[in-house]
């Protein structure tokens, strides 16, 4: 079970805040303040705000572009983390491969178009579809159910955030806290009965 951001695709939050601030005519600190004051991230990742409503909020903050322009500014801030994506692709067909992500509809649809390997997942368990976010226990249970009602000890969850890893471990899921993409292969291999041919 792979997290998405900074596991399969990388991003720099500070640079994103700068880009979004520039788009509405303010600095990154001021954008971050407005973003947090409006509680955008939590509501968006729970599916409580539609993409059109998000665009409307940006327009209220000074953005004057179309929805299509906004979609690009909002979403085109990621790059593929190839040491992990290669493993993700190699595992497909050997074991069930899932994505478990706190994300929003605009990001996930954009990323699935830009990085086709994401569409190879057997299941994508997405916060905005469930109204749940990591590290809430129920979203991990939803991932186990999505993997075929497997037991926690039959799964390995890979994430870059300690709180998310601890929450998964608390319900019995094997975990890997990923600091460097290139470190995943030997750590993941220890959980597998055999190494996939292409891994």
CA dist 179 and 184 (Å) reads 9
Shortest CA distance to 3 belongs to which of 73, 93, 88?
88
Beta bridge partners, 126, equal 101
Q: What is the DSSP letter of 147?
A: T
CA dist 90 and 22 (Å) reads 39
Q: Which residues are catalytic?
A: 3
Beta bridge partners, 176, equal 158
Q: Number of helices and strands (H, E) in the chain?
A: 11, 6
**CB neighbours of 138 closer than 8 A, spacing ≥ 6?**
130, 132
Within a 10 A sphere around the Cβ of 9, how many other Cβ atoms?
A: 22
Q: What is the DSSP letter of 176?
A: E
């Amino acid at each position: 079970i792979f997290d998405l951001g900074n596991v399969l695709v990388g991003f720099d939050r500070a640079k994103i805040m700068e880009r979004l601030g520039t788009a509405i005519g303010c600095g990154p600190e001021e954008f971050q303040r407005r973003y947090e004051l409006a509680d955008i991230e939590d509501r968006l990742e729970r599916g409580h705000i539609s993409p059109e409503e998000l665009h409307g909020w940006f327009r209220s903050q000074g953005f004057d572009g179309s929805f299509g322009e906004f979609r690009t500014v909002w979403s085109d801030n990621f790059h593929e983390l190839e040491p992990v994506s290669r493993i993700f692709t190699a595992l497909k067909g050997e074991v069930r491969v899932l994505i478990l992500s706190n994300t929003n509809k605009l990001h996930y649809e954009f990323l699935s178009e830009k990085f086709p390997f994401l569409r190879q997942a057997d299941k994508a368990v997405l916060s905005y579809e469930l109204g749940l976010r990591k590290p809430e226990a129920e979203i991990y249970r939803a991932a186990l159910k999505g993997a075929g009602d497997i037991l926690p000890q039959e799964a390995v969850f890979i994430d870059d955030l300690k709180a998310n890893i601890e929450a998964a471990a608390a319900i019995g899921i094997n975990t890997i806290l990923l600091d460097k993409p290139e470190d995943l292969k030997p750590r993941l291999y220890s959980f597998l009965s055999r190494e996939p041919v292409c891994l």
